[in-house]
Structures are given as C-alpha cells and as structure tokens.
Amino acid sequence: MSSLLAALNQGDFEAPVFRNAAPAILMEHAVIHDAGQLSDLGTIVSFSGEKTGRCPKDKRVVAEPTSEADVWWGPVNIALPDSSFTQLQELATTFLDSQPRLYVVDGFAGWDSEHRIKVRIVCSRPYHALFMHNMLIRPTEEELESFGEPDYVIYNAGQCSAQPDIEGVTGSTSVAVHFDRREMVILGTEYAGEMKKGVFTIMNYIMPREDVLSMHCSANEGKDGDVSLFFGLSGTGKTTLSADPHRDLIGDDEHCWTDRGVFNIEGGCYAKCLGLSYEREPEIFSSIKFGAVLENTTIDPHTRSVDFEDGSLTQNTRVSYPIDFIPHAKIPCVGGHPKNIILLTCDAFGVLPPVSKLNPQQAMYHFISGYTAKVAGTEQGVTEPTATFSACFGAAFLVWHPNKYAQMLAEKMDQHAADAWLINTGWIGGAFGTGQRIPLGYTRAIIDAIHGGHLEQVEMIQDDFFGLAIPQECPGVPQEVLQPRLAWNDQDSYQETALHLAKLFDQNFHQYREGASDGIAEGGPSLTVS
C-alpha cells in the first residue's frame, strides 16, 4: 500500500479529501476549481488538455512472477520492470499529495456480484471523479459503509508528467498496471478514458482466470429475453445500434459472459458526440443532462449551448453518463445467454455486404481479425481507405493472447447455439470517394430483421471472395444494396478491390495462425477467385 493510500485510509491527510462526493458537488468543483463550464443542457463541459484520446503506445504492464506467464507480451502489453512501477507510483503519489484537494471514488466493476471487483480512484480533478462516478457501478450507502479495502486502486496524476529516464518509460506519458500489487498509475495524460479502459484491462486479465469471457462489446435484450452482443471498433455504430428504443440496453461497451449469461462491467456509458442529434440518436441525446460529463466539446460562450458539429478540439468528443439515464436501460445490467453475435465493421472499401451470416469458422476468423477501415481525413496522412485490424475488436485492452478469448467465444457460442452476423456500416457501390455510406436506416432495418428472425427464412447467396452467406432480401432494405458486387458499376474495379481487401485480411491473420484452433483459418477469404 502506498503512503498516500495509507494516509487517506487513516484520515491523516492535510488537504480536503472528497470521498464519493455527490455529482452536484463535483460539478460545482469542476466549474470553480477546474476550468469546467456549465452547459445549457445541465451538464459540465470539461477539457482533457493536450491528450484527447488514449495513449496505447504508453501503456505498460509490470513483468512479475504471478502474471508474467499469462500476458500476451508485445506492442499491446509492453513489459515494465517492477522497480520502474515503484518510481512511477512515487511520482504520482507525491504529486497527488501536493494538491489542494483530492477526490476519492469507490465503485464496482461488474454487475454480477459473484465476479465484481472493488475499484478505488484517487485523483485531483473533479471532472475525473465525476467521470468515474458515472462509469463505475455506484454502491448503495450500505455497500459504501462496508466497502473496506479495494481490490484495485487507480492513481490518476495525469497533470504530472512521467520521467523518460525511468526504465521502460519513453516519454512524458505513462499508463502502467501492476497485477500483483493491484494498482494502476496514470501520468502525463488527463484523458478520462484511460481510467475506464484501465478497469477493462484489469477485468480482461481477471475474468479469463475465472473461466469468464470478457468482451469489448455492447449488449441489449428484447422483450422475450433474447440477448444480442455488438462487437465493433470506434465509428462502426456499436453504441448507436445497441441503444435501441425497442430493446433494453444492458451496456454499451464492456461485458462478460459467464455460465449463467452476460453482465455489464460498467455503471455508465461513454458515447461519441460528434454529429450527435436527437433525430439520429434520441436515446443518447436525451441522456445528456445534469450529472453527465461532456469532454472536449465546444460551447457557445454566451448561450452555453453545445456545438455537437464542432470537432475543432478533437474528432473524439465524448459524453459520460450513468446507464440509468437511458430510458430503456436494464437495471441490474445482466442478461441471459446471447442469441445473436453481431460483428460490426465500417468497410470503406465497399466490398463487404451490409449483412451476412457467419458459420462458426467465419465467426472466429472475423472476431480475431477485428476489421474496420479508416477513411481520408480522419487521421493525419490518411488519403485513401486504410484497413485497421484489432484482435477481438479490442486488442489494446487484451491481456491474454487473442486466441484465448476467441476460443472461449467459440465454446460459448457452440454451447448456447448463438448465431453470428457480420454487419457492414460502411460503404456500398464503391469505395470511399466513389460509393456511398450505407444509410443508418438500412442498418437499423437489418438489425430489426435479425432480431425478428426474418433473415433465418430467406434464401442466401455466397460471396465469391469471403464465402459469406448474403441474404437475398431484407425488409426495409433495397435488394440491390444487399450484394456489393451488383452495387458496383465497374466490375473490374470491384474485383480488384475485393481481392486487395482479402489479401489484407490474410496478411493480418498470419500473426494468429500459430496457436489458433483448428478451422479458424478456414473462415478466411479466398485469394484464388478468378
């Protein structure tokens, strides 16, 4: 235990410590002490400074005997010496010890009481405290009284720079986790999402040890108790599509699958806000109210109205709010075994169909591939569609090798007879710049057809390159949209682009061939289509 934590536990801390303060107090402090602004929606607007997104290249995992053999070492989990973590922790706690006020937030990760962990956040920015008050599961007064010692502590000293002379640290930013000491230290970044994803990383380590599958996905439930999981990288529609007014939301981002069903890890939602409107996403828009935190959005200095179209600070504008702000949230956030596994991709090459059904081998292949595409203008230097692969749709947060998570998913899908679908929310009729973005209304109609069982009853046609089973019809979607080949005017260009994407898939899968279960490779594309 750090000296700071000991002092906090003993009440031996000179500056004021605000433990589990009410949202109103934290919002008040954010405005008075932290340059926060009050919006006309009743939220605070806070700013994370220079870093407006996660810093995955600065994430480190301590190499220590209790966990070393389990960790997928490499660019995702970069090893850090134990002694370096001690130095980073001392740097963080010294900084926090010097602040005029501290905030402590206690909460749970995991709605299933058999698998939840107790998490404590120690930070100096009130907006960080309010953010984690939203994102962790909020204990009752009785649970707080008996909370005791946490299972994990996160020290957020993001305003203090790391020191690159510490072994294993390469710059001013460091996000380091120590599984044996059960601690995490954040330095040099004030982006609130680092705390949220830190908790997810911890759960990604703990849960598989308990034979529980941790997943980067959203989940919802129909009136008959049928559960759907939505996997997808940023920009694919995971949060938008799971916030369905006709279904109850279990969670928007992080879940676990046990032998009893699924449970949400979090107590809140963290949604993208750029381009947000009530017309497009009423569930999310209506949740932006008192208690929510808007991060890095612009605000009119006179009217205090939020400009959701302004991405001048960052394209990654965000809002954090408790999940019960969603009208159709299911509380507690647990559900039965999933009936449908929906893999979302935003294919900027315009090759993948808007909907296809996957066989078990294809489901595992596309899960471990975790494909989407960046388009021109989204990042510096991106001038044409660029394929992005993230194992299990969340490689940055995995601790074990991706094959472990993929195998666990395969076993659970087989055991509970879950169907798998690949949904393209990207382009049709050509690649980005030539084709058009699939309308959100079409994608919603596809999801409705899956949930209604309509796509189980229609004829399927097999895609030439990827071997995908494509429905010949879908209510609410024009037939010519369903088959990518037919939507392209230039068939030679389609053939060339499809083969290019198939080769990218194959190249990416090379790193997972060794150790992959039998049959996964069979779910990949063909490179010999004439």
E strand or H helix at 106: strand 102-109
Longest dimension (CA), the chain: 75
Instruction: Reply yes or no on whether 120 is catalytic.
Output: no
28 within domain boundaries: yes
Domain boundary among 163, 180, 209: 209
Q: 146 and 138 in contact (C-beta within 8 Å)?
A: no
Choose, from 54, 138, 357, 401, the residue flagged as catalytic.
54
Please say which residue of 183, 209, 235 terminates a domain.
209
- Taking the C-alpha atoms of residue 264 and residue 220, their distance in angstroms, rounded to an integer, is 10
The one-character DSSP state at 426 is: S
Residue 387 CB contacts under 8 Å (≥ 6 apart), including other chains? 349, 371, 373, 501, 504, 508
Query: How many residues are recorded in the chain?
Result: 530
Active-site residue, from 43, 174, 218, 239? 239
**Catalytic residue (one of 161, 234, 298, 314):** 234
54 annotated active-site: yes
Q: What is the CATH number of the domain that holds 455?
A: 3.90.228.20
Q: Which of 209, 240, 275 marks a domain boundary?
A: 209
Q: Is residue 88 part of a domain?
A: yes
Asked if 125 contacts 18 with a C-beta cutoff of 8 angstroms, the reply is no
Cα four-point dihedral sign 143, 144, 149, 151 = positive
Is 10 domain-assigned? yes
Supply the range of the domain harboring residue 125.
Answer: 3-33+54-209
Could you tell me if residue 67 is inside a domain? yes
Q: What is the pLDDT along the chain (530 residues), one digit of tens a residue?
A: 566 766 666 666 667 999 999 999 999 999 999 999 999 999 999 999 999 999 999 999 999 999 999 999 999 999 999 999 999 999 999 999 999 999 999 999 999 999 999 999 999 999 999 999 999 999 999 999 999 999 999 999 999 999 999 999 999 999 999 999 999 999 999 999 999 999 999 999 999 999 999 999 999 999 999 999 999 998 899 988 998 989 999 999 999 999 999 999 999 999 999 999 999 889 999 999 999 999 999 999 999 999 999 999 998 999 999 999 998 999 999 999 999 999 999 999 999 999 999 999 999 999 999 999 976 444 444 456 789 999 999 999 999 999 999 999 999 999 999 999 999 999 999 999 899 999 999 999 999 999 999 999 899 999 989 999 999 999 999 998 999 999 999 999 999 999 999 999 999 999 988 877 777 888 999 887 65
Cβ-contact 250, 220 below 8 angstroms: yes
238 has catalytic annotation: yes
Where residue 113 sits, what CATH number does that domain have? 3.40.449.10
Query: How much is the pLDDT for 520?
Result: 87
Query: Which member of 181, 216, 247, 272 is catalytic?
Result: 216
409: in domain: yes
Q: For residues 374 and 470, give the distance between their C-alpha atoms in angstroms, rounded to a whole number.
A: 24
Q: From the candidates 29, 128, 196, 197, give the one annotated as an active-site residue.
A: 197
What's the total number of domains in the chain?
2
Q: Is 404 labeled as catalytic in the residue annotation?
A: no
Contact 272, 234 (CB under 8 A): yes
Q: Cα 426 vs. chain centroid, distance in angstroms?
A: 19
Given a contact cutoff of 8 angstroms between Cβ atoms, the answer to whether 272 and 316 are in contact is yes
Q: Residue 229's closest CA among 264, 281, 199, 267?
A: 264
- Which of 318, 337, 374, 451 is catalytic? The answer is 318
- Give the CA angle between residues 145, 147, 151 to the nearest 5°: 170
Q: Is residue 221 situated within a structural domain?
A: no
* DSSP notation for 218-229: EEEE-TTS-EEE
Catalytic site includes residue 339: no
Query: How many whole angstroms separate alpha carbon 251 and alpha carbon 215?
Result: 12
The yes-or-no answer on residue 234 being catalytic is yes
Q: Reply yes or no on whether 170 is catalytic.
A: no
* Six token digits for residue 381: 């230097």
Regarding whether 347 and 205 lie in a shared domain, the answer is no
Closest CA to 154 of 113, 112, 109: 109
- 197 included as an active-site residue: yes
Tokens standing for residue 327: 């009208």
Phi, psi of 363 (to 5 degrees): -60, -45
**Phi, psi angle pair for 109, to nearest 5°:** -115, 115
